[in-house]
Amino acid sequence: MKTIAIIGALEEEVAHIAASLSNVRHDHSASLDVVYGTLESAEPAEPTAASTASSEQIAVAATVGGMGLVNAAATAQRLIDAYRPDAIIFSGIAGSLNKSLHINDVVLGGILRYLDSDMRLIAQWKPQTEEFHSDPKLLGVAEQALDEMGITHITGTIASGNYFVDTPEKITQVIAQTGADAVEMEGAAVAHVAARNDVPALVIRALSDNADTDYEVFKNFDISEYADTAARLAIAIVKRL
């Protein structure tokens, strides 16, 4: 049975994912509430001489990872150690840096870069790279699911850092440093940890604003609509794996 780990940005998102699973149980370890259950694949498994075609069962371990690079990295490593997933998916929101994109469009993390790290030093250790990438197969599956859901999307560059980008000066700096289409606080860390463990990863970011909203305002945004969309997207991707 395949196992897919999902890290969500929102409690509501993981609750929607849990509602789609069967045989659900909770694992309260490492300061996390991991929802573990099974999902039927979209394609039936190949029949054997002793059986007829039936949907394959996929195991899913989903949790909220928390904000920031360390929280994301710790969550990814915990899921990898505890569940040995065949792939890890990170789904959340980001600020847009691409003027051709709009709120609720999606950026898939073809490339993920840190904002505030000297990668010449960090790249001396596995995976010995100065940037990280979502898995090509997972990107293809995500693009198919997004097309079918009618959601505008690109495969682009996502920048991750430990500070909230909310001013024109910071936006200019991030674009100059990374050439990113979107900015957030976790994606590169998840992709980094996944690469260290040889686990395929996919980072998905829905655009919540144009990276121009003060945090005190942003934290009161109603993003429940995206939580539902993100959960449906994550489930649609997992069913195709």
Domain count along the chain:
1
Note the pLDDT of residue 219: 57
- Residue 76's CATH number: 3.40.50.1580
Which residue segment(s) compose the domain that 48 sits in? 2-239
Note the pLDDT of residue 87: 98
The region that residue 186 occupies, defined by phi over 0 for left and psi between -120 and 50 for alpha, beta otherwise, is: alpha
Note the pLDDT of residue 214: 58
pTM of the shown model: 0.88
Note the pLDDT of residue 43: 67
Q: For the CA atoms of the chain, what is the radius of gyration?
A: 18
Note the pLDDT of residue 229: 79
Note the pLDDT of residue 236: 93
Q: What is the pLDDT along the chain (241 residues), one digit of tens a residue?
A: 999 999 988 888 888 899 999 999 999 999 999 999 999 988 655 555 555 556 799 999 999 999 899 999 999 999 999 999 999 999 988 888 998 998 888 999 999 999 988 888 888 999 999 999 999 999 999 999 999 999 999 999 999 998 878 788 888 888 888 899 999 999 999 999 999 999 999 999 988 766 555 555 555 555 666 677 788 899 999 999 8
Query: Residues 146, 233: contact at Cβ < 8 Å?
Result: yes
